[in-house]
Amino acid sequence: MKVLFGLIYLMDSSMHFMYIFLPCALIVLVVLHRFMKKHEKIWSLLCTIPMLVYIVFIINGYYAKDPERTIYRYAAFGIVALLIMLWGLAVLLKRSFKAYTVIVILFSTVILLLNIISIWAIWLEPNVTNCSHLGWTKSYEEAINALEKYYVLNDWKEIDYDNIREELIPKVRKAEADNDEDAYVYALYELKYEFGDGHVAVYGDIPGRERAIAKYAGNDYGFSMFRADSGEIIAVLVDEESDCYKQGIHNGTVITKWNGVPVEKAAAEVKCIDRSYEFQTIENIHIAQPIFLAGLGGDELTVTYIDESGKEETARLSADGEYIHRRTEALSILFGSSITSTDNYSTSMLDEHVGYLRITEEEYSLDPFFITKCTIGGYSQEMYDDLNSRLEEMKKQGMDRLIIDVRNNSGGNGFESRTVASMFTSNPVPYYLALHKDGEYKVIVESKDIETSGTWSNIPVVVLVNGQTASAGEEIPNYLKNSENVTIMGNTTTWGDVQGTGGVIVLSDSKYEIDFPITPTVGDDLLPAVDTKADRKSRLMPDYMIEYSIEEAIELFENPNEDMVLKEALIYINKD
């Protein structure tokens, strides 16, 4: 019952109303029948009230241009209201009150419970703020209000909503006055960026979002940039047919000024906003800022650099198309998008001693009942048995050490990361289902450990992470970070947040929406796990940070199909 209460507690007020109204209507009608046996026609007529309420509810609460969401969220309530109406008719005609009452109560209970499961396990949208009937500015204002009310980490991240309103609402107001949808969409991403939380996400019209991100990515000047381990910012992905190449900017050229401003200072002002890649931690932002800066300038740009003789020179460059394509290529190479395996939960031998486990997402099964059962229990025996058998098979082949690759892991179900982590550590792997109420995180379900914990804790393990190791994917290194047999390794930190989703704000005409976390994921200290505070400093730094010298950075971007991170991990794990 505590779990059921917790799930319903986190739903929005419209769902609360229907979950309270329909059972209460049933109870009232059952009681009334006892006193209205001589007036069953009137009683039967009263049984139509829930359906009338439901119709009014739908008329006032439907999602503009999005009938699918209206149906899947509220159809179950319509079915229960219909059952109550048919119950009244059946009792009037058949005079069998007890039998039909038992049937209606039974079916209504099952339907409402299944609705709770479907909203949590399938749709993941328990809390929805409907702004679909409002204009851009008004829906944006209501989105900020909803985030201020429901976002689970407001206190933890010290979100300054007054500053957000002051900075961003005027931009949206201007965008609406100019009918500039690109500016409006980009303002949605700027709002998202304020939270430093990848689970605060913008969804909706993909072409519209791509167009806005491309526009604000800026102009292409023939190259991108990257910060080497020395701190110097260098040119990469230089187009040898471009004007910048002809003026002396080549791969590895050190850039010193951007439009007359010291390049470090210019980079520090950049917001790393992209549709496909997330930047929550200050460490990852620091790495990515030069890549984003390389597109920011007008039709003409001055770039100061160190030439081959060591002298400082300045090139005057003209914009040549959009930068978004070169920026995407640079980010793709940084995060190894083209070289990491996409076979989820795949296993193989990398050499005669090193096994390899690749996890691209925590989505072992799509069965909602499996997901719900394991989410409540915090563990999957089925997953454990499957993975353990495959590890045993690799052990027969000579495996005595293992690399777990969770780079570019998009997340998923927390019970899966807990199951995986428990196999490789003898430390407890706690699980909590918690609520955030009155400024505190309160546990409603707790499981300290599982009996299979530590099965493979006697072998060396390297866990590979990067800036796109997200959500449930981050829980694996988070659970393993204090284990003596485990080394967390990466070329960036992880994504920076593991909080569950569940909040949705549907914006004007249902064209775009903002999703956000409403449920806390907490550790032993009952504080948010992994997520950054207001300073955005990573709380899950790799034990072994892979950095690139100027020469290594040139190689990284000139040979994108070489998995330099995996090679480094193999050298490290075999060094003994």
Bridge partners of residue 346, in order along the sequence = 358
Provide mean pLDDT across the span 296-323. Answer: 96
Split at pLDDT 50, 70, 90, the class of 425 is very high
Enumerate the β-bridge partners of residue 486. 461
Residues contacting 86, CB < 8 A, separation 6+ = none
pLDDT tens-digit profile of 52-78? 999 999 998 899 999 999 998 999 999
Digit-coded pLDDT (tens) for 2-56: 777 777 888 999 999 999 999 999 999 999 998 898 888 999 999 999 999 999 9
pLDDT digits (tens, 9 = 90+) for 180-190: 999 999 999 99
365-417, pLDDT tens digit by residue? 988 888 888 887 888 999 999 999 999 999 999 999 999 999 999 999 999 99
**Residues belonging to the chain:** 576
How much is the pLDDT for 338? 82
Burial of 42 per CB tally in 10 Å (0-12, 13-18, 19+) = exposed
Residue ranges of domains in the chain: 2-123, 224-334, 346-494+559-573
- pLDDT above 90 as % of the chain: 81
* Cβ neighbours around 55 below 10 Å, total: 12
The Cα 124–Cα 69 span in angstroms is: 12
Distance in angstroms (rounded) separating the CA atoms of residues 474 and 529: 10
Binning the chain into helix, strand and coil, the percentages to the nearest 5 are 45, 15, 35
Q: Among 3.30.428.10, 3.90.550.10, 2.30.42.10, 2.60.120.1570, name the CATH number for the domain at 224-334.
A: 2.30.42.10
Claim: this prediction has a pTM higher than 0.95: no
Give the residue ranges of DSSP H helices in 118-160: 136-150, 154-157
Say what the pLDDT of residue 541 is. Answer: 96
**Per-chain mean pLDDT for the chain:** 94
How does residue 524 score in pLDDT terms, banded at 50, 70 and 90? Answer: confident
- CA atoms of 569 and 450, how far apart (whole Å): 29
Distance of alpha carbon 319 from alpha carbon 132, whole angstroms: 38
Q: Is the pLDDT of residue 452 over 70?
A: no
Across-strand partners of 304? 257, 314
Round to whole Å and give the CA distance between 274 and 279: 9
Which has the higher per-residue pLDDT, 453 or 383? Answer: 383
Report which residue type is found at 39: H
* Residue 267 main-chain phi, psi, to 5 deg: -65, -35
**pLDDT (average), residues 126-137:** 96
The pLDDT of residue 401 is 97
CATH number 3.90.226.10 given to 346-494+559-573 = yes
Task: Give, as one character, the DSSP assignment of residue 173.
Answer: H
Query: Helix H segments across 159-318?
Result: 161-178, 181-193, 206-217, 243-246, 263-268, 282-293
**What residues does 227 pair with on adjacent strands?**
233
Cα four-point dihedral sign 448, 451, 457, 462: negative
pLDDT band at 449 (very low <50, low <70, confident <90, very high): low
Q: Looking at residues 487-494, what average pLDDT do you find?
A: 97
Q: Which residues, in sequence order, are CB contacts of 243 under 8 Å at separation 6+?
A: 222, 315, 317, 318, 320
First to last CA, the chain: 52
Per-residue model confidence (pLDDT) at position 119: 85
Q: pLDDT for 223-274, tens place per residue?
A: 999 999 999 999 999 999 999 999 999 999 999 999 999 999 999 999 999 9
Angle between helices 324-334 and 282-293 (to 10 degrees): 140
CA distance 128 to 451: 38
In the structure encoding, which two tokens stand for residue 10, read together? 């986190």
Q: What is the pLDDT of residue 451?
A: 63
Element (H, E) at 379: none
Q: Which pLDDT value is given to residue 439?
A: 78
pLDDT computed for residue 344 by the predictor: 95
